[in-house]
Amino acid sequence: MRESILTICLATVWIGIVCAQSDSCAGRCGDPLNSAFNCQCNSACSRYGDCCPDFSVYCQEDNCQGRCGQSADFNRPCQCNPSCVTYGDCCSDYQVTCVNGGGGSTPGVSTLAAAIQDIWNSDTNRMNVGTDIVIDLNGNTKLFSYVNEAFFSRPTYQAFIALLDNYDRTIGRAESQSSAESTEINNFMNLLMSSEAMTIGMNFLISQGKATASSFRGLVSELWFNFYSRSSSSSILDSSGFEHAMVGELQGTSSVSGFHSWIQFYLQEKAGNLDYTSMVSQAEPNVKGAAFTWFGAPKGKGSFFLGTSPECDLAIYTVCALMHPNAKCNFALNGNSLSVQTWDIAHKAGNQIGSAYPAI
């Protein structure tokens, strides 16, 4: 250690850094981890207990004025988005400025738009359209020209894809769930609930009185995975929120119902079960509304976010379903006006997602 510090001191003496400053945050606030120094001066040091003694003097003079809902900036000593509650690096005025709405004109993360933007910004598993995903809007039965399937080995993708073959696609046929399928759901839920996207969604919903920390996992599981009857006149448990929105369902051979996952679209197209017809509508950022046939049944338009991770999709839809059930959930995303439509099951008591999709 003494040799490495000496090397740094000798190498940087020309810009005025001296060895005595290795225990100080003077001029170092927000610097990335540097094991050559005895202590650190970035926002993570509070969590790891290795801050320099004068960290609070030099580096904790920041606040959330004008920063509410912005994605994490690790060059700043503290953060102002919902995930800072989870990571313990919120600025001291975060609650007052961003959650309660006091201390200035900034609307803060108490707004739905700011929360969804933060979910979007957190999606490090999102594929880049144009490089990881290439589509052909004029394709002959094929929308996708290329997908970087290396992403599918990432935990949330892998667990999500494992669920897609667990359902009977025909409406009116009773669903069943094996112990292996229950294990797959539990595995996906573990990953979903530990994702930053769903953590942001949870913190926002708690701040709005729509959920509690202790019951949130059960609420999400009920919304997406509890079986119910899609028809009010039937007692057959033939559907669920996940099956309808993420997998898709068939009304015989007459029509496709639901089906709002780009991942399922790609995999079914690749398997030869789905033929792309045309692109009906589009919106930014990367929202598509495609016409297609699935097992011979037509869908006039199935809309979906393109390239998003499973955790991002479910976090956005969960927030909208609880904030604006049976209605359009309006927000701005990357400067674009968007809406997500959610429906619940009117004849079913409790929280059940009937459908969820971008309304374009």
Range 328-344 burial, b when 16+ CB lie within 10 A, else e: ebebebeeeebbbbbbb
Q: Grade residue 210 by pLDDT with cuts at 50, 70 and 90.
A: very high
CA distance 138 to 141: 9
The model's pTM is 0.71
Range 91-124 burial, b when 16+ CB lie within 10 A, else e: bebbbbbbbebebbebebbbbbbbbbbbbbbbbe
Write the pLDDT tens digit of every residue in 45-102.
766 778 888 776 667 656 776 677 677 777 677 787 767 776 777 777 766 666 654 3
Please confirm, yes or no, whether 244 is among the known catalytic residues: yes
* pLDDT over 80 at 145, yes or no: yes
Residue of 67 and 162 predicted with greater confidence: 162
CA distance 259 to 242: 10
Residues in the chain: 360
User: Looking at residue 349, what DSSP letter applies?
Assistant: S
Write the pLDDT tens digit of every residue in 338-351.
999 999 886 555 57
Range 185-220 burial, b when 16+ CB lie within 10 A, else e: beebbebbeebbbbbbbbbbbbbeebbeeeebbebb
Please report the pLDDT score of residue 292 as a whole number: 98
Coil, helix or strand at residue 133: strand
Please confirm, yes or no, whether 324 is among the known catalytic residues: no
* pLDDT over 80 at 191, yes or no: yes
Please report the pLDDT score of residue 54 as a whole number: 78
Q: What is the 3-state composition of the chain as percent helix, strand, coil, each rounded to the nearest 5?
A: 35, 20, 45
Q: Grade residue 119 by pLDDT with cuts at 50, 70 and 90.
A: very high
Catalytic residue among 142, 244, 270, 348: 244
Residues with Cβ < 8 Å from 194, sequence gap 6 or more? none
* pLDDT over 90 at 17, yes or no: no
Residue of 107 and 48 predicted with greater confidence: 48
Residue 287 token pair: 């929202």
Q: Is the peptide bond before 53 cis (omega within 30 degrees of 0)?
A: no
Catalytic residue among 142, 299, 328, 348: 299
* pLDDT over 60 at 146, yes or no: yes
**In the chain, where are the structural domains located?**
1-61, 63-109, 133-358
Highest mean pLDDT among 6-10, 184-188, 207-211: 184-188
Average pLDDT of the segment spanning 114-119:
94
Q: Grade residue 296 by pLDDT with cuts at 50, 70 and 90.
A: very high
By the 8 A CB rule, do 151 and 125 touch?
yes
Written as one letter, the residue type at 347 is H
What DSSP assignment string belongs to 44-80? THHHHT-B-TTHHHHH-----TTTTTPPP-TTSSSB-
The closest of 263, 256, 337 to 305, measured between CA atoms, is 263
Please report the pLDDT score of residue 346 as a whole number: 64
User: Domain 63-109: which topology?
Assistant: Factor Xa Inhibitor (4.10.410)
Please report the pLDDT score of residue 52 as a whole number: 85
Write the pLDDT tens digit of every residue in 229-274.
988 788 899 999 999 999 999 998 899 999 999 999 999 999 999 9
Please report the pLDDT score of residue 327 as a whole number: 93
User: Looking at residue 336, what DSSP letter applies?
Assistant: E
* Rg of the chain over all Cα atoms, to the nearest angstrom: 24
Q: Grade residue 19 by pLDDT with cuts at 50, 70 and 90.
A: very low
Residue 264 token pair: 């399922």
Catalytic residue among 142, 260, 288, 324: 260
* pLDDT over 50 at 109, yes or no: no
By the 8 A CB rule, do 44 and 59 touch?
no
CA distance 286 to 304: 9
Mean pLDDT of the chain: 85
